[in-house]
């Protein structure tokens, strides 16, 4: 699959722009704060219905306007599909697929499959559990509508239970409805746990080979799923922790407390790994995602690289660039020197300046670039 065309109207710092992409490697370059990442964000929005940078839709609209429009055309095995998103300041956003409005956001998932890689992702291993759960949820929601539904239900129930816990703290009385929320939490939570375990098991089948190659056959990488609870003890743990939960007004156990451990040669690199090891593991994770998505959807996802190459050393740069073959890649950077140095075959090159995107003459002639 590849994106053919993206148009933005009154989106962030763009008044109106249209970008026609190559099905190969596309580079958007320019100084900082010109709007490069806004294009990545708009594509991500068309894939997931959400921004990877903010939870507020209002921030996506040009400051001088009251609404914004995004239109994206993606080609999937020779067939074009169109995603239109209409964002309003005072109303929920509207989404249409092939000009037909959708009623639920999960109808969008799977139309455009993207994998995003930014400098923040290099910190995925050393950062807190919340970031790793976010990674799990974002990837699984794109690949599995049922997971998306179960996660939504779980989060709604968790919020209701936490609200009830705060009320119980004030009244000092146990409300029988807590048992209803507990049963619902266990019902949806166990489904989430099962899917996460399945996803991590599949990642492990792929990631060790990739990581071994990047590290020059010096390191073995294994991911372990650190479940906070399992389907056998979830209900019991909720009951055992009820007094504590009431005291703090929050639910202390469940898959919303899960984590992933990354073991390199048996050592937990979240705590004891070097920055180089952590970054290599993060790169291995992203490249494994590509393979996993290809296996799942029988098509290639779109890779979004947001100013990440400059954060990698030469060896990791070369490995990443070598992995870009046969997959549409949209890259943002401040300069194209690293890509020229690594002899990358650029399909299209764009200069981004103050919310305007202009096709730029390639710095060298590509023999195989696609337009």
According to the annotation, is 30 in a ligand binding site?
yes
The answer to whether 260 and 225 are in contact (CB under 8 A) is: yes
Q: Which of 352, 313, 290 is nearest to 27 (CA)?
A: 352
Q: Which of 47, 2, 7 is nearest to 23 (CA)?
A: 2
Q: How far apart are CA 108 and CA 72, in angstroms?
A: 12
> Angle at Cα 51 formed by Cα 50 and Cα 56, nearest 5°?
90
Q: Which helix (H) or strand (E) element contains residue 339?
A: helix 337-341
According to the annotation, is 34 in a ligand binding site?
yes
Rg value, the chain, Cα = 22
Tell me the C-alpha to C-alpha distance, in Å, between residue 231 and each of 192, 228, 254, 362: 10, 10, 10, 56
**What are the DSSP calls for 105-142, one per residue?**
GGGTTTSS-EEEE-GGGGGTTTS-HHHHHHHHHHHHHH
Mention every residue, 6+ apart, whose C-beta is less than 8 A from residue 17: 7, 8, 355, 356, 357
According to the annotation, is 31 in a ligand binding site?
yes
Q: How far apart are CA 316 and CA 277, in angstroms?
A: 11
Q: For 61, which DSSP code?
A: B
The DSSP bridge pattern shows strands 302-306 and 14-20 to be unpaired
According to the annotation, is 355 in a ligand binding site?
no
Angle between helices 314-322 and 275-297 (to 10 degrees): 0
According to the annotation, is 62 in a ligand binding site?
no
**What are the DSSP calls for 159-225, one per residue?**
HHHHHHHHHHHHH----THHHHHHHHHHHHHHHHHHHHHHHHHHHHHHHHHHHHHHTTS---EEEEE
Please state the residue numbers annotated as binding site for ATP.
Answer: 30-37
Please state the residue numbers annotated as binding site.
Answer: 30-37
């Amino acid at each position: 699959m590849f994106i053919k065309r993206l148009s933005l109207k009154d989106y962030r710092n763009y008044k109106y722009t249209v970008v026609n992409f190559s099905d190969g490697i596309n580079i958007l370059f320019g100084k900082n704060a010109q709007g490069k990442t806004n294009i990545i964000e708009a594509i991500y929005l068309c894939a997931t219905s959400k921004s990877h940078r903010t939870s507020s839709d209002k921030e996506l609209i040009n400051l001088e306007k009251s609404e914004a429009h995004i239109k994206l055309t993606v080609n999937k095995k020779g067939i074009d599909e169109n995603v239109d998103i209409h964002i309003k300041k005072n109303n929920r956003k509207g989404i249409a697929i092939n000009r037909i409005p959708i009623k639920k956001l999960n109808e969008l998932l799977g139309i455009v499959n993207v994998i995003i890689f930014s400098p923040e992702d290099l910190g995925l291993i050393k950062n807190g559990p919340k970031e790793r759960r976010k990674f799990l949820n974002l990837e699984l929601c794109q690949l599995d509508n049922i997971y998306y539904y179960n996660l939504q239900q779980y989060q709604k129930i968790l919020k209701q239970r936490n609200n009830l816990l705060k009320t119980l703290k004030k009244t000092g009385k146990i409300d029988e409805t807590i048992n209803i929320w507990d049963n619902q939490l266990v019902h949806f939570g166990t489904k989430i746990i099962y899917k996460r375990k399945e996803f991590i098991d599949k990642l492990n089948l792929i990631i060790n080979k990739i990581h071994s190659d990047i590290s020059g056959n010096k390191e073995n990488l294994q991911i372990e799923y650190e479940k906070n609870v399992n389907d056998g003890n979830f209900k019991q743990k909720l009951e055992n922790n009820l007094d504590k939960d009431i005291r703090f007004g929050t639910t202390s156990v469940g898959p919303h407390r899960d984590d992933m451990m990354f073991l390199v040669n048996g050592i937990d690199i979240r705590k004891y790994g070097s920055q180089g090891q952590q970054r290599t593991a993060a790169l291995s994770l992203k490249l494994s995602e590509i393979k996993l998505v290809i296996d799942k959807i029988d098509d290639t996802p779109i890779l979004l690289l947001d100013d990440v190459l400059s954060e990698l050393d030469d060896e990791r740069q070369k490995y990443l660039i070598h992995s870009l073959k046969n997959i549409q890649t949209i890259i943002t950077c401040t300069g194209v020197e690293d890509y020229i140095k690594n002899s990358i075959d650029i399909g299209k090159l764009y200069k981004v300046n103050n919310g305007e995107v202009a096709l730029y003459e390639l710095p060298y002639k590509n023999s195989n670039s696609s337009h």
